[in-house]
Amino acid sequence: MSDYRHYYTSDDLSLTRAHSYTLLLQVDVNSFSYAIIQGRQLLSWGENYLLDELRDPKLLRDILTANYNLVVTGLQSTGFTLLPHALFDIKRISDVARLLDVNNTEKVKAEEVDESNMIIYKVDEVLTYAVKDLDNQNVLYTDAGWIKAIAASNPLSANLYLNVVSDTVSVVNFTNSTLRFYNTFKFKNQDELAYYCALVATELEIKPENAKLILSGDITDTDKYFSYLTNFFGQVQLNDINILDMPLRNQSHKILSLAALSLCASSEEN
């Protein structure tokens, strides 16, 4: 896993045409990543920038101050719960928030995960403050697009989909393209990552030797995390879903959760 900044800029990028572009942002407590897209075309991509760059842009001043058609921002949560639509009542959001132990530096948000479930989550005010000045903005749960992308890929019930961001892994599982399981875990090393994968498999009654782990995010098929997982599970591979047309084909798994926010942009614009 890397702390280095990776980037790509297309020769087609012209911020004078930003009014026809969408800016995608994924923001956590320490850093953020961005992508500029037009339709399915990736025009620019950068990651691991400090939050100070959002509040007072210098390196990305032109990019972050351009007049975009839409800005889609995924925010990392400090806690969440899922509720079936039938049990969700926006008037009782404060009651649900008590389950999340919200403190005075956190905001509570709610949105659809899919046609059957809502996610109620809390976000540190540091993040909401960092993005407050962005125009034409649609703010979402950080994994909203990623979950949508997996659901649309005809996932098999024995597949566990993982997205790794720094020291956090998101795990999702579907049955007949219907959300069956979603959770996030903090891990310190490859042992803990394997443990949480095994824990989820056990809860879903999937034998490890029958489980297929499909990974995206801050991981490669040559690092120690990937290699370690192959010792315990039937199959381990990188996610090959391509949301955007991009020249960096071997990096599509790395940008998947960020790129998938564009699926939420499409639904908002239609």
Asked if residue 249 and residue 165 are part of one domain, the reply reads: no
CA pair distance 229, 211, nearest whole angstrom: 11
115 occurs within a structural domain: no
Q: Count Cβ atoms below 10 Å from residue 187 Cβ, excluding itself.
A: 18
According to DSSP, the residues that pair with 118 across neighbouring strands are: 83, 112
CA 15, 18, 20, 22 torsion-angle sign: positive
Calculate ∠ Cα 127-140-104, nearest 5°: 40
The predicted pLDDT at position 98 comes to: 83
Q: What is the pLDDT of residue 206?
A: 97
- Give 148-186 pLDDT, tens digit per residue: 999 999 999 999 999 999 899 999 999 988 999 999 999
95 domain residue, yes or no: no
6 and 138 together in one domain:
yes
- Is residue 96 situated within a structural domain? no
Q: Is 250 in the same domain as 175?
A: no
Co-location of 177 and 225 in the same domain? yes
pTM of the complete model: 0.93
- In a domain, residue 141? The reply is yes
**Does residue 32 lie in a domain region?**
yes
CB 257 within 8 A of CB 216: yes
**Average per-residue pLDDT in the chain?**
92
Residues 232 and 248 grouped into a single domain? no
Domain range for 198: 154-240
Domain assignment present for 33: yes
pLDDT (0 to 100) of residue 270: 38
pLDDT of amino acid 176? 87
Task: Give the dihedral sign, CA 230/211/241/168.
Answer: negative
Residues 229 and 249 in one domain: no
Check: CB of residue 258 under 8 Å from CB of residue 264.
no
Count of structural domains, the chain: 2
Asked if 246 and 146 sit in the same domain, the reply is yes
Same domain, 252 and 171: no
CATH number at residue 138: 3.30.420
Residue 24, domain member (yes or no): yes
Rg over alpha carbons for the chain, rounded to the nearest Å, is 18
| 130 and 252 in a common domain | yes
Same domain for 141 and 270?
A: yes
Structural domain includes residue 136: yes
Please indicate, yes or no, whether residues 196 and 266 belong to a single structural domain of this protein: no
- Backbone phi and psi for residue 123, each to the nearest 5 degrees, phi listed first: -130, 135
Question: What gap in Å lies between CA 184 and CA 91, rounded to an integer?
Answer: 27
User: Residue-wise over 203-236: b if at least 16 C-beta within 10 A, else e?
Assistant: ebebebeebbbbbbbbbeeeeebbeebeebbeeb
Taking alpha carbons only, the member of 117, 168, 175 closest to residue 144 is 117
Residue 154, Cβ neighbours under 10 Å: how many? 10
Query: Is 135:143 a contact under the CB 8 Å cutoff?
Result: no
pLDDT digits (tens, 9 = 90+) for 5-64: 767 899 999 999 999 999 999 999 889 999 999 999 999 999 999 999 999 999 999 999
CA angle, 176 then 109 then 143, to 5°: 40
pLDDT band with cut points at 50, 70 and 90 for residue 233: very high
Residue 226 CA, chain-centre distance (Å), reads 19
Are the beta carbons of 47 and 33 closer than 8 angstroms?
A: yes
Residues 14 and 136 both lie in one domain: yes
The whole-number pLDDT of residue 91 equals 83
